């Protein structure tokens, strides 16, 4: 039976891969007819090769991955098990934990396989799939912070209308729309990559299948990819960051006008966890993008790889330690579990 299930799983994966390739072929045929694109058999990822003492970094990445998996699984389980946390805010927190778990699971094991186990050759189709999952999860982290920022904005500025403005249906619709937008944007980027011909180098100087590194290797016109490469950071990074920044400036401005210092601090205290997530996600990216030309390529690769794997590890820790509702929920679930064990022991003795 196990062998039969494994066979069915492999057939399903192959079927998904065929569907993905079929969609890309339709995309190409719609854009440019009677054109042959030269696709390499594989790419070679070399971004972290040759670093001194790099094995210590791989051990660190493995530790980050384990903590990320455990932490995000705990947050998702607590929100699912405790009906008191079935609020719109924690719908967004649950989605963030899912994205963090899925993103690190897509990136870190493959990264360790490439560099630690010395498998730098990655097939062309696998590279595009790797790019799709990594970009989707990294982008959803940004938009999830926007959803949480909107939740805090309405809760503090319009507390009496919060139950009407931020409902389960609204939050689910908002998150679903973010997923659709991100998936379409990344699919367009991947689809345009399939229109490129590679007749020179196939070496990607990054820690994963990076969009910018790939299209620069092409030997035909890659201007559409360049445009996408310019638009993507604006849509996925700068616009969410500006929205979050303006929302908090408006919160501070409003509290300064209508609340006392103590009331303002009490209201702003509910934003500490979210502000911590925003700082962890956006500040390293701001530094990297601002000092792009001044940073050594190796330092840029390390910084971006840390930016990819570090927030998913810290997000659940921050929410568990700084959010009173989750701390109380964890204690309540532990008490219930402890009472269940005592009851079972008593029944066994009787």
Residue 117: CATH number of its domain? 1.20.1070.10
| pLDDT for 24 | 54
pLDDT at 307: 86
In a domain? residue 39 = yes
What's the confidence (pLDDT) of residue 62?
93
Q: Which two tokens stand for residue 154?
A: 């309405």
CB 45 within 8 A of CB 208: yes
Q: Is position 65 within any domain?
A: yes
- Distance separating alpha carbons of residues 212 and 189, to the nearest angstrom: 10
pLDDT for 22 equals 52
Total domains in the chain come to 1
CA–CA gap between residue 192 and residue 267 (Å, rounded): 46
Is 123 a domain residue? yes
**160 in any annotated domain:** yes
Is the residue at 43 inside a domain?
yes
Site of tokens 């330092």: 299
Question: How confident is the model at residue 167, as a pLDDT?
Answer: 94
Residue 283 tokens, joined: 């500040």
pLDDT at 214: 95
> Is the four-CA dihedral 91, 190, 48, 299 of positive or negative sign?
negative
All residue ranges of the chain with pLDDT < 50 are 1-18, 30-31, 342, 344, 347
- Domain boundaries, position 302: 31-343
Closest alpha carbon to 204 in 124, 138, 307: 124
What is the predicted pLDDT for the residue at 1? 43
For residue 55, what pLDDT is reported? 86
Q: Report yes or no on 23 lying in a domain.
A: no
Any domain includes 14: no
pLDDT of amino acid 70 = 93
Angle between helices 168-193 and 223-233 (to 10 degrees): 150
pLDDT at 266: 80
* Chain-centre distance for alpha carbon 10: 26
Based on its alpha-carbon atoms, the radius of gyration of the chain, rounded to whole angstroms, reads: 23
- Residue 333 resides in a domain: yes
Q: What is the pLDDT of residue 147?
A: 95
């Amino acid at each position: 039976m196990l062998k039969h299930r494994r066979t069915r799983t492999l057939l399903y994966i192959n079927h998904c891969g065929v569907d993905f390739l079929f969609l890309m072929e339709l995309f190409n045929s719609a854009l440019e007819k009677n054109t042959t694109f030269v696709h390499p058999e594989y790419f070679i990822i070399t971004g972290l090769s040759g670093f001194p003492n790099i094995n210590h970094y791989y051990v660190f990445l493995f530790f980050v991955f384990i903590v990320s998996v455990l932490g995000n699984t705990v947050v998702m389980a607590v929100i699912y098990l405790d009906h008191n946390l079935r609020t719109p805010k924690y719908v967004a927190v649950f989605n963030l934990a899912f994205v963090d778990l899925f993103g690190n699971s897509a990136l870190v094991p493959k990264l360790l396989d490439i560099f630690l186990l010395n498998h730098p050759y990655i097939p062309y189709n696998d590279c595009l799939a790797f790019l799709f999952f990594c970009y989707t999860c990294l982008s959803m982290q940004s938009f999830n912070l926007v959803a949480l920022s909107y939740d805090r904005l309405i809760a503090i500025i319009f507390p009496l209308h919060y139950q009407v403005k931020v409902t389960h249906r609204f939050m689910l619709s908002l998150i679903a729309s973010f997923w659709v937008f991100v998936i379409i944007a990344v699919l367009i980027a991947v689809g345009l990559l399939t229109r490129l011909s590679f007749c020179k180098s196939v070496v990607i100087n990054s820690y994963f299948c990076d969009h910018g590194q790939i299209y620069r290797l092409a030997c035909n016109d890659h201007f559409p990819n360049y445009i996408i490469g310019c638009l993507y950071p604006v849509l996925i990074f700068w616009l969410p960051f500006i929205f979050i920044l303006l929302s908090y400036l408006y919160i501070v401005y409003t509290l300064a006008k209508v609340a006392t210092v103590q009331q303002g601090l009490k209201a702003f205290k509910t934003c500490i966890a979210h502000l911590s997530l925003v700082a962890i996600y956006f500040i390293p990216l701001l530094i990297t993008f601002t000092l792009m030309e001044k940073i050594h390529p190796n330092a840029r690769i390390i910084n971006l790889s840390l930016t990819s794997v570090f927030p998913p590890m810290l997000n659940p820790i921050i929410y568990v330690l700084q959010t009173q509702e989750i701390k109380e929920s964890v204690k309540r679930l532990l008490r219930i579990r402890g009472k269940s064990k005592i009851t079972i022991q008593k029944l066994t003795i009787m």
